[in-house]
Structure formats: C-alpha cells, structure tokens
Structure 1
Amino acid sequence: MAPNDSAQITGETGETGDVPAGRRRAARYVVPVAVAGIAAATIGLVPALAASGDPDLPKISAEQLIEKIAASDTEQLSGTVKITTDLGIPSLGSLGGLGGSAAGALAPKGGADGGGSAAEPTGRLMELATGEHTLRVAADGPDKQRVSILDSAAEYSLIRNGDEVWAYDSASNEAYHATSPADAAKGSDKGSEKGSENGEKGKDQAAPKGLPATPQDFAEEALKAAGDTTSVTVDGTARIAGRDAYQLLIKPKQDGSTIGSIKVAVDSETGTPLKFTLQPSGGGKAAIDVGFTKVDFSKPSASTFDFSPPKGAKVTEADESKAAGKDQAHKAPKDAKDLGTEPNVIGEGWTTVVQLDTGGKGPGAVSKDMPAQAEEFMNALGDKVDGKFGSGTVFKTRLVNALMTDDGKVFVGAVTKDALVKAANEAK
C-alpha cells in the first residue's frame, strides 16, 4: 500500500487529526500491510522477554514516539535476540530430516544430498519462519553485520564485512562465500555507472536481503505508512533487556484482517525498537514475537566480523553454486513467469488483497505436478469454498491466507477466509 501522508494518528491523549506536514517523514513509517509481507517470510518471538516491571517515563504521544523511531541513528549494537513464530504451519527447521513426510518433500535440500551447500544462507534463514530460535546479533554501521543462529550443539553464522559475505554451518563444517557490491551496504540503487554495473554483476552473489532478524527490522516494515485505517497509541511502558521502553500499539480499524494488533517496545533513550509482537485477530499466543534479551549499544569488537573457514571445512563459492544450478533449490520455479498478469490490488489498508492469475492452473492442475506428500500437505491447509467467483480452495495460516480458484486465480492477503471470498466475488 502506498504511504498515506495525511494519516490519522491517535495519541495517548486521545487526540486525532491530520499529521502536520513537517512530521510526515515520521508518520510514513506506520502500517499494516507491510506486515503481510513480513508474514510471508515471517519470524516471531517469545512473549515474555526479560521484562521486569513498568518504568515511570515522561509522557509521550504516539506521534512523538513514531518520530523518535524515525530519528533513531543507532548503527552499532550487539546482543541476543529471541525469535518465536507460530503461523500455524509445520516447523521448517527440521523439514530436511523428515524423509518421506509431506514436510520433507517440500524442504530445500542441501549439502550431502546434492542440493547445494548446507551453509547457503537463504534456506537456513528461512528456518526462522517457524518455531523458536535464539540469535546472537552484532552490527557496526551499514557494512558490518553478524547474525548467528544458536542450536543446542551447533551454530550457523552469517557474516558481512565490507564486500565479503561468509556463511558457516558448524554442524556440517561447510562454509559459503559471496561477494557483495561495495555500494550495496549503503542501500544505494543509484550512483556511478560503474557502481551500477558492479551491483548488477554481483547482485546474485550477495547474501539474501529483506528477511527480518531483529525487532528494528520488523518495526521498519510495520511502520511504513499511516492511514485512517489504523489506530496508533502509546500503551504504557515496559522493561526490555534491562532497558526502559515505551510501547507503541498499532491496531487495524477495519474488520476482516487476520492481524489483531502490533506492539513495538521502543528504547526510551535511543529510539531503537527492542521488541516486536504481532497478535493475530483470532486470539491465542503471538504469531510473531521478536525481542532482545540482551543488548549493548557500544561499538562491537572489530574481530566480531572477521571470519576464516576452519581447517577441513568445505567451502562453496556463490558463483560456483550458481553455475552448478545448486542455488536454485531455494528460488522460484522456472515456470514462475506463468503466473501471468501483473498483480491486481483490491481494497486498502489492513484488508488489502492481491489478485494473481496463474493462467488456468488451479489447485487441480497444480497438484498434478506435486509429489504426493506435498499435495497431502497442501490439502491439509486448505478449505473448499465457493461463491459468485466459482469454487476454489483457501490455504490458511494464522496470518496470511490465500484463495486459489479452480480457474487459476489466486487471492492472497493478511485477511480472513470470508474477506478473501468477498474480494474474489467483487473482483473484475
């Protein structure tokens, strides 16, 4: 959804109204539908994270707190992040080891079974989309970051140091190496012609982008536009990872969204989000809950971002993996172009639905190309529905639902089954 600079914001005092022009830069950070994008690759957190009493902080309005987040210039930090996601789908963390199960049939294969390096980042980071995980994170500016996923007896690390990107899986003793364009760290898609050429050449070798791993990542996605479909308030204070924080509460005003509320705990001193919790409208525990249990805003040691493959480690170069076709296991199928026309966006705000046309490939046609276990897995998620649009199947999670009609149209959004059927009925 495009940002709405004239969004209404409800502050702690209950005041509402158009956001002043001078403050639109901050206001554009707040909203909903981006969360559907997050949910597609989602990560979540455990609800109770080192909270110990509610600190007494000066009063602040929702608008002021949004501005505080937007003005935050935190570039150096280290700490531990707890992530738990409950989208109502099977855990992806152990898919590869489930043999003949439906989940195993859908899992990307790596390492010894011929699908590529076990250290290749895309598949490993997708494990964060389900279950509970502990991460150790560190950052020193835009070109030095480290994220390590901690298991009981192993560790997976993704390290960026300038234009060098390394991933290492201690369980398999495999490493994956890529180079990233120099200007990519700065988020630049412009610049010199040479920089653009380097960016184009190196883009497939760089580490995957866009998968949130910290509360700030999630908050930035959720706080992108403020509209009159959204209620934003300050909901008290909290103590997170030993830091005093304000709690920003974001709720949809529309019916039909699967998102009940989003709560962002914001560090009172730095404006850095410390915790992100997404509660589904259907109730129950949080679907996404990401938060620091420990955080330090001092400069991490330079050695944090140093990496050399251990002796005996198998090293896979990104360009070699691509040339061998081994990195395709985590990418869209070759016939993805058959999805046909450009997406059609229906509705606005929290109840936005995106319509795609698969060119006549409805559930029946798609199932012919699926392994039996995968088809069983998909059917377990689906509900048969019908309406003015015809008939189809709704595939559901706790957040993002999709309706695939028998004539090959797909309607997807962070909306309820009824809202999907309504959108399909009203689609032209």
Structure 2
Amino acid sequence: MAPYASDDSTRAGETDDDPRVGRRKAVRYVVPVTVAGVAAATIGLVPALADSGDPDLPKISAQQLIEKIAASDVQQLSGTVKISTDLGLPDLGGLETGLLSGATGESGGSSADPSAKLTELASGTHTLRVAADGPDRQKLSLLENAAEYSVIHNGTDVWAYDSASDEVYHSTVEKNAKDDGTPVPATPGELTEEALKAVDDTTSVTVDGTVQVAGRDAYKLVVKPKQSGSTVGAISVAVDAETGLPLKFTLTPSGGGAAVVDAGFTQVSFARPAASTFEFTPPEGAKVTEGEAADPAEAPEDSGVPSEEELGEDLAGLDVLGDGWTSVATFDTGGTGAASAGDLPDAGALSGFLGSFGDKVTGKFGSGTVFSTRLINALVTDDGEVYVGAVTKDALVKAADSAR
C-alpha cells in the first residue's frame, strides 16, 4: 500500500503563545501517564482493525482526511469492539487496577462505579458492545466471563450495573452535556481528535493506502514522530471513507513488538439503535449507590479530581524540556528518594515496592531510578525531581543532565 500523500502535518495560524499549543504539549506526555485506564475506556470506542482487502478509493491527502474526520457527524451507531492493551506493566495481581482507581480519587464505594471499573481496560484483551444515539444516549457493555458490566447514559441519568456483584451506580448529568462530562464517550472520533492535537512540525502525517474495517471501506491515516528518542513508533487510524468516522486506533511503540493499544470494531452498524437499548431499571435486590450530580465543566470541589480546564492549565504550566515528541515534563515533588511519593497512601511501602521494578541510573544530575512501560518512562531522582515523557531512558537522563 503506497502512501497517497505526506508531510501535511501542521496547523496554520498557531504560534507558541497560542493556548492550543500548550494543550497539545500537555496531551502528548500526560494522557498516557495519568489516565492510562480511563483513556483505555475511551479508546474502547475507537474500533480495531480487521483487514479484509484494500478497497479502491479516490486518492485523498492527509490534510483532506483530517478535515474529513473533523467534519464527521455520526450520531447513531452500534457494534462490537475488541480492545487489546499492552503497556508492559508488571503483573501486580490486580493491584495496578487499584492504583489507577485510587489515582482518580475513586477508591472504595461501589464496585459499579465507572471511574474504577473501566480501568480494567488498561491491560489485557476485552470485548465490548457499544451503542450511541446522539449526545444524550450511549451505552457501553464490558463482556466478562459469565458476567457483564454496563454503563448507560440516557438523558440526565447515568447508570452503571455490575452483574457479578449485583451492584448499581447512579449519577446525573446535564441534558445535552458535552461528551467529556459523561462516563461513556458519545463519539469514537474524540480520541483521534486528542491525538491530532499533538501534531506539529515534528510530526509526519500521511495517508498509507486503504483498508477494510468490519466490512467498511476506510483510509489509513498514519501519524509518526520525525524525531528519534520517542517511544512512540506510530499512531494509525482507519477512517471510514463514507462518514469520516475513525474506525481504528492503533498505537505501536518505537521499540517494536505488539501494539500498545489496538482497539476497534469487529462489527458496526450506523442504524439508529432501539430506544429500549438505553433503558435501565435496577434489578430487584441490587445494591444501589447514588453518586453526586456530575457537572460536565468541572468536578465536585471535594472530589479531589480537577476539572478538564484546571487540568489543562496545570499541564500546560509544567516545565517542559525539549520540544515535539521528545519533550520531557519535569517537576519537583518537594521530597527526596522514597519520600517523593509522600502524598500517596502508604507512600514508603509503595515507593519501595515500585523501586524493585525500576532501573538505577546516574548522570550529571546525580542518581535516580527510571520506571518504564512500553510507552512512558519516568525518572525520579534521589533529590525529588521527576522527569517524564514518551521518550527512551537515555533521553530522560539527557534531559535531566541538561536541566542542571
């Protein structure tokens, strides 16, 4: 499959002072770090690739394909999704899920709480059923062994039901709320939109031929870093030729091997789902937990979770070393060594436990430990400085040295 076009990679009219630039920087290195589990749930609505031939489609440039994605307005769909996630995390016997849910401030409470339950998508292979009918009705069901977990958004109500524990979680949102305020994303294109925010002049964007996904003809958009030192090899998105809806999202690491994330539809329909799809009544005898009303613009003040606006401002304000895909975020924890995790529960024990998975490194900066996944590396120095990014271990050490 020969590429149709190349190097349509930048957005016109943006400068370094443009707030969108800061947000793209934040997205690039923080999304995989802080929302690995929750992002995986979002990725779950961006279907995986099922190759079945290369359809003959009119040629299109990368810029035209990006514009086609932006113009996509699919309101109704249903289908089956398969998602595989391999971050290269050590097997912690389920502890990693607890750490992710704890990081979102949602430890404890109902086992049906989506903010905790959907972190299971951060590892392994899962099958989901999805359905959407406009911005006010969506449903996602995670199919498990002899059990099912579902999240249903219908109007102002959000219901989640875990059949394994027979628990129900209920909260409310504003009608016509933006998708980022609901636990179930309304459009699978949102993840692709976030990925495209990282596009700048350090990025190559091409159209690499055509594919078929779940019987649909699609173009394949490929986003690659131009710089060496990034752990991101490529992001590949299959885009429906008719509707412009992203039908595949695959992120492969520069180190080779299986994809870090490979998620997508094995079956999809754009017919309007039946209204009964989004109806839910708690089963008799089920334990029902009422959550606080959700404001799409901001989290409750006492939740410990920042709003999207606050998060964007905080991330854009981080010190950043370098640029593009090899940029490294750095901050001072205010502690040293094992105490650098001091704000976490049981910090000393947790830091010592995680330290057994790290690699000791030294440089002009002094000494520290690098914690690695297949996508994100983080260097924690013995004097409490943290350097993190989608870059190699050597690039982290180099960044730390340059800061001294």
TM-score by length of 2: 0.81
Q: Which residue of 2 aligns with 1:408?
A: 384
Q: Which amino acid aligns with 2:386?
A: V
Number of matched pairs: 368
Indicate how the Cα distance of structure 1 residues 186 and 80 shifts in structure 2: closer, same or farther if over 3 A, else same. Answer: closer
Report the equivalent of 1:12. Answer: 4
State yes or no: 1:121 paired with 2:114. Answer: yes
2: CA distance, partners of 1:221 / 1:18: 15
Look up the match of 2:311: none
Cα offset, 1:12, TM superposition = 2.5
Structure 2 runs not aligned, ≥5 long: 14-19, 294-299, 306-313
* Aligned 8 A contact 1:32 1:252 in 2: no
- 1:223-238 alignment to 2 at 5 Å? 223-238=196-211
The reply on whether 1:89 has 2:89 as its aligned counterpart is yes
Alignment partners' CA distance in 2, 1:213 and 1:257: 31
Whether 2:150 is the aligned partner of 1:177: answer no
Q: 2:253 aligns with which of 280, 283, 298?
A: 280
Matches within 5 A, 1:299-338: 299-319=272-292
Quick check: 1:280–1:398 contact (8 Å CA) kept in 2? yes
The corresponding residue for 2:125 is 132
Structure 1, 302-311 or 47-56: larger mean CA deviation: 47-56
| Secondary structure of 2:250's aligned partner | strand
**Aligned residue identity for 2:321:** I
Measured in 1, the distance between the counterparts of 2:9 and 2:259 equals 30
Secondary structure at the aligned position of 1:184 is classed as: coil
CA distance in 2, matches of 1:31, 1:12: 26
Distance 1:107 1:186 in 2: 22
What CA distance in whole angstroms lies between the structure 2 residues aligned with 1:251 and 1:401?
A: 19
Instruction: Give a deviation string over 1:146-191, Cα, whole Å, max 9, x none.
Output: 111111211111111111111110111100010113353476xxxx
1:82-112 alpha-carbon deviations (Å, 9 max, x no partner): 11110101468x61xxxxxx65874759xxx
Distance 1:91 1:241, change over 3 A: farther
Query: Against the structure 1 CA distance between its residues 411 and 17, is the aligned structure 2 distance closer, same or farther, given a 3 Å change threshold?
Result: closer
- Contact 1:215-1:292 at 8 Å conserved across structures: no
Please say if 1:296 is aligned against 2:289. Answer: no
Distance in 2 (CA, whole Å) between partners of 1:410 and 1:61 is: 40
Post-superposition shift, 1:360? 1.9
- Distance in 2 separating the partners of 1:17 and 1:107: 34
Q: Does 1:390 align with 2:363?
A: no
1:76 corresponds in structure 2 to 76
Instruction: Kindly provide the CA deviation profile for residues 117-139 of structure 1, in whole angstroms up to 9, marking residues without a partner as x.
Output: 11011111111111111111111
Identity of paired residues, percent?
Answer: 58
Q: Residue 63 of structure 1 corresponds to which residue in structure 2?
A: 63
Distance 1:309 1:362, change over 3 A: same
The alignment partner of 2:89 has SS state of coil
Aligned mates of 2:240, 2:155 — CA distance in 1: 28
Q: Which amino acid aligns with 1:362?
A: G
**Cα contact 2:48–2:247 (8 A) shared by 1:** no
- Per-residue CA deviation, residues 333-384 of structure 1 (Å, 9 max, x unaligned), is xxxxxx9x96212222111211111112433553896378744641233111
5+ residue gaps, structure 1, are 1-10, 22-26, 96-101, 188-205, 321-326, 333-338
Partner of 1:357: 332
Q: 2:159 aligns with which of 166, 187, 199?
A: 166
Q: Give the Å deviation of 1:388.
A: 1.5
Q: Letter of the aligned partner of 2:284 in structure 1?
A: K
For 1:278 and 1:17, the matched residues in 2 are separated by 18
Question: Secondary structure of the residue that 1:283 maps to in structure 2?
Answer: coil
One-letter amino acid matched to 1:12: Y
- The answer (yes or no) to whether the contact 1:162–1:185 under 8 Å persists in 2 is no
